[in-house]
């Protein structure tokens, strides 16, 4: 949105900025959904959340500008504004590709599981004192509740016995 706003300083838009912003939001959401649909078979085939490679990076990237161009043209009816929206989506997608390095293969499921196990062990070790203290407090509270309940039951029993002795 900020990039579109900055571009509107130098480029004369055929429609108002609100409509361009709506086009960008709609086209970005639709292009992300279509990009996920395109990437899903590659994810399943490789068995990785980030299979990497050129097709994984390029195919969803190319779908974004095409979808944004079509959606923008349908909403604005302006070729000029549609090209602006498509180029802005392309810039955002390119930045995402370079930031996340989508062409590099991600960790295998075994590597992810090993990393998770390592993290789990580290957290267990780090919070062991807190867990022990919480368990100790919980045991103490449970014990106190038990003895209070037992004392109430004994008091009721004693009161019944006392009343039955008076009635006799």
How far apart, in whole angstroms, are the C-alpha atoms of residue 142 and residue 59?
59
Residues 110, 33, 31, 72: what is their CA dihedral angle, to the nearest 10 degrees?
-170
Mean pLDDT of 29-53: 82
* Percent of the chain as helix, strand, coil, to the nearest 5: 85, 0, 15
pLDDT of residue 159: 79
Collect all residues with Cβ–Cβ distance below 8 Å to 48 and sequence separation of at least 6.
Answer: 105, 106, 107, 108, 109
pTM of the predicted model as reported, rounded to 2 decimal places: 0.56
pLDDT of residue 13: 66
Residue 9 has pLDDT above 70, yes or no: no
DSSP three-state, residue 101: coil
Mean pLDDT of 1-7: 69
Angle between helices 54-76 and 17-46 (to 10 degrees): 150
Mean pLDDT of 12-32: 78
Mean pLDDT of 153-159: 83
């Amino acid at each position: 949105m900020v990039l579109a706003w900055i571009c509107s300083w130098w480029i004369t838009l055929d429609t108002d900025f609100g409509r361009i912003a709506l086009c960008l939001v709609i086209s970005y959401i639709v292009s992300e959904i279509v990009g996920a649909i395109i990437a899903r078979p590659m994810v399943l085939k490789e068995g990785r959340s980030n299979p990497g490679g050129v097709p994984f990076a390029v195919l969803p990237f190319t779908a974004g500008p095409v979808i944004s161009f079509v959606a923008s043209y349908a909403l604005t009816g302006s070729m000029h504004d549609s090209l602006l929206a498509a180029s802005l989506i392309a810039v955002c997608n390119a930045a995402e590709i370079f930031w996340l390095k989508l062409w590099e293969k991600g960790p295998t499921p075994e590597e992810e599981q090993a990393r998770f196990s390592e993290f789990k062990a580290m957290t267990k070790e780090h919070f062991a004192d807190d867990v022990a203290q919480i368990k100790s407090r919980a045991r103490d509270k449970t014990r106190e509740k038990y003895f209070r309940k037992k004392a109430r039951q004994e008091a009721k029993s004693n009161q019944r016995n006392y009343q039955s002795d008076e009635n006799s």
